[in-house]
Amino acid sequence: MSEALLRVSGLAISVAGDDGVAGILEHVDLAIPKGHIVGVVGESGCGKSTLVKAILGILPPRARVDAGTIVFDGRDLARLDEEAMQREIRGSAIGFIPQDPFLALNPVFRVGTQMLETMRWHAPPQWKGQHRQRLVQLLRAVQVPDPERALERYPHEFSGGQRQRLLIAAALSCQPRLLIADEPTTALDVTTQRQVLKLLRDLVAEFDLSMLFVTHDFGVVAQLCDSVSVIYAGQTVEAAPTRSLIDNPAHPYARLLLACHPDRAVDLAGIPGSVPSLIEPPSGCRFHPRCPIAVTACAVTRPPIVELAGAHAVACPRHELAFPGAGDA
Amino acid sequence: MPDLLVVRELVTVLGRRQGLFRGKEVGVRAVDGVDLSIAAGEIVGLVGESGCGKSTLARTLLGVQREASGHIELDGRIVSGLGSAEARRVRRDIQYVHQDPGAALDPWWSIGRSLEEGLIIQGNRSTSDRAARIRRALSEVGLDPAVAGRYPHELSGGQLRRIGMARILVLEPRVVILDEPTAGLDLSVQATVLRLLRDLRGRLGLTYLFISHDLAVVRRLCDRVAIMYLGRIVETAPTVDLFEHPRHPYTRALLAASPRLESAMVGEIPVLGEPPRPSEIPSGCAFHPRCSHVGPECSRRVPDPEPVGDRHMVRCLRWRDLAA
């Protein structure tokens, strides 16, 4: 595997709230090799968004990084000061594609005005005077028809798919090396989604990018990602090349989750229990109260992530045990 | 099974008006000649992209939106051609579950009060009967009847979906229109909601019109599927048949684009573009500008529904060439 552009190791983040301190992330590991698209999958509340915010350095004021590192291009973003984040990382070296193309553009300003504003803040100084021209080239790359005129139009004049293309162009506008996309296609129809996914794959190759793609849809992961990480309640439980994880999930949570997918689900049983409170999270492996093969040891210490064959890594020493409901053949 | 709901040549026009000063606006034919029948106890999936008219069709069936022409028959009685208040009254056997039941509940009302509202509107004057129905409906959907005393913000997304279902079960409907009932749910919660819907159909003999754009879910739950494109049903077939032998190029494109666990990495696919605005419906077959198998006749002639097998219907002039 090539060298990782971004490597998150043992990241732990807690947020102080009114009801106590919530350990949103307990131990997250993630590596994005250069040129790869890595999917992060988990259910609501698992910490996906917190992970993204931590990488972008936009954690809420009450959040604290308790442990771990976020190494991007040799620098630890978890410890970089805000000024450097703002000047050198966010919006420039790391571009962000938001979830909802209908909310992310300001309806009262022309598209061009908004996109040029980003460039004014984050583009390298030697680009002075070329912003508009570069933007037009980018809009052409993301296949927005008639780019010159598109810049003069308002967001409502574009369809959902077109708006998502504009936002992708905005994320690319300052020559990032890493793109982070947070469920960028959930608001789109399947045919449009397919086209946007294709576009993202092409752009990653064309612009020599790497990408972190947050989603809850394993079908989208199958269409887009080279590898995928599964997070449960703030713990990375499994990471593997996409086909390997979807075809042979190892961690009991990943097995149960994939067994809930309508393409697989035999009896639509769901996963017993519910996602735990992060204020008083379960000890050890956070999945143990819901796990059909848990033993006492699982509640004592968090199992380390161990690499199996074929770059498939799992945080469960008992992953070889069969159990009913996991969709095992 | 006899057909419980029969729809023939239904047309609904949105935004048509004749103002004193503004002149005429012809409006948009959001539902443009829909034929659809649903047997008692059947789950029919209605699939299409946003703006294709799925929701307008649902609103017309409910009687909330008035049809411009066409014919709706519920359990053998004709219920179309009425004013909206009257239409709603005779169509009370058809009920609708909102896509996001959390948003459809009043945050200041207890769950019990929200559930009671429909019964009061229907003229149920017995407090004890209303309470008994609410208790029964809540246990039907797998919730503790004590939930009636709680408020929407205290419940999870999955619980709110169950409340949404309980809210219409108290009204004892026969046909339930489910609008994207699993949108925005996590996989594990989605599985339990689908199971609940299936169990309720079995236990209470309900009939569903299941509106969704998630083909994986439709394939899992529905007996039959109708594919809608710009106001028209372009293909209907039993679920297995539709997924294994799709005939309409649009159905094929949808199936190819739909993410599945077994999907290959996105590669070269015919570029479809995006659907035109409903106000600019193309002539002939409305799909022709995006169709990869378009022929010269497609822009001139509206295809009629043609049978292609057992209960399998397609509206495409060229389906025979494609099948070969």
Kindly write down the DSSP assignment for every residue of B106-164, as one continuous string.
-TTS-HHHHHHHHHHHTT---HHHHHHHHHHHHHHTT--GGGGGS-GGGS-HHHHHHHH
CA angle at residue A77 from A73 to A79, to 5 degrees? 135
Look at the block and give the residue holding tokens 């058809």.
Answer: B94
Query: Which residues in chain A are contacts of B189 at CB distance < 8 A?
Result: 43, 270
Residue A2's pLDDT is 56
Q: How many domains does chain A have?
A: 1
Touching check for B18 and chain A: CB below 8 Å? no
Q: ipTM score of the complex?
A: 0.85
Cross-chain residue pair B191–A162, CB shorter than 8 Å: no
How many whole angstroms separate alpha carbon A215 and alpha carbon A40?
6
Residue A315 lies in a domain: no
Residue with more model confidence, B176 or A161: B176
Which tokens in the block code for residue A51?
Answer: 């992970």
Touching check for A162 and chain B: CB below 8 Å? yes
Residue B309 lies in a domain: no
How many whole angstroms separate alpha carbon B11 and alpha carbon B204?
31
Residue with more model confidence, A188 or B57: B57
Contacting A residues, span 228-287, partner chain B, CB-CB under 8 Å: 246, 256-258, 260-265, 267-271, 274
Residue A154 lies in a domain: yes
Tens digit of each residue's pLDDT (9 = 90 or more) over B248-282: 999 999 998 899 998 888 776 655 677 787 778 89
Residue B11's pLDDT is 94
Assign A48 to helix, strand or coil.
helix
In which element (H, E) is residue B95 found? strand B94-97
Residue B87's pLDDT is 81
Residue B20 lies in a domain: yes
Touching check for A126 and chain B: CB below 8 Å? no
Tens digit of each residue's pLDDT (9 = 90 or more) over A92-147: 999 999 888 778 889 999 999 999 988 888 888 888 888 999 999 999 989 898 99
Contacting A residues, span 277-316, partner chain B, CB-CB under 8 Å: none
How many whole angstroms separate alpha carbon A189 and alpha carbon A191?
6
Cross-chain residue pair B188–A271, CB shorter than 8 Å: yes
Residue B161 lies in a domain: no
Residue A305 lies in a domain: no
Tens digit of each residue's pLDDT (9 = 90 or more) over B62-103: 988 889 999 999 998 888 888 778 887 888 899 999 888 777
Q: Residue B89 is part of a domain; what is its CATH number?
A: 3.40.50.300
How many whole angstroms separate alpha carbon A285 and alpha carbon A237?
9
Q: How many domains does chain B have?
A: 1
What is the arithmetic mean of pLDDT over A264-288? 87
Which tokens in the block code for residue B263?
Answer: 């999907």
- Which residue range is the domain that position A137 belongs to? 111-175
- Which residue range is the domain that position B231 belongs to? 3-93+173-260
Residue B271's pLDDT is 57
Beta-strand pair B28-39/B3-14: antiparallel
Q: Quick one: chain B helix, strand, coil %, rounded to 5?
A: 35, 25, 40
Touching check for B157 and chain A: CB below 8 Å? yes
Minimal C-alpha gap between A204 and chain B (Å): 13
Residue A205's pLDDT is 93
Residue A326 lies in a domain: no
Residue B190 lies in a domain: yes
Q: How far is CA B188 from each of CA A251, B46, B166, B185, B191, rounded to the nearest angstrom?
A: 15, 23, 20, 8, 5
Ranges A169-173, A191-195, A263-267, B64-68: which has the least confidence: A263-267
Minimal C-alpha gap between B216 and chain A (Å): 6
Query: Which residues in chain A are contacts of B50 at CB distance < 8 A?
Result: 160, 189
Contact B138, B144 (CB under 8 A): yes
Cross-chain residue pair A219–B219, CB shorter than 8 Å: no
Contact A253, A291 (CB under 8 A): yes
Residue numbers in chain B where pLDDT is lower than 70: 1, 18-24, 268-272, 324
Mean of all residue pLDDT scores within chain A: 91
- Residue A1: pLDDT band by 50, 70, 90 thresholds? very low
Minimal C-alpha gap between B186 and chain A (Å): 6
Residue A120 lies in a domain: yes
- Closest CB to B260: pick one of A257, A263, A265: A263
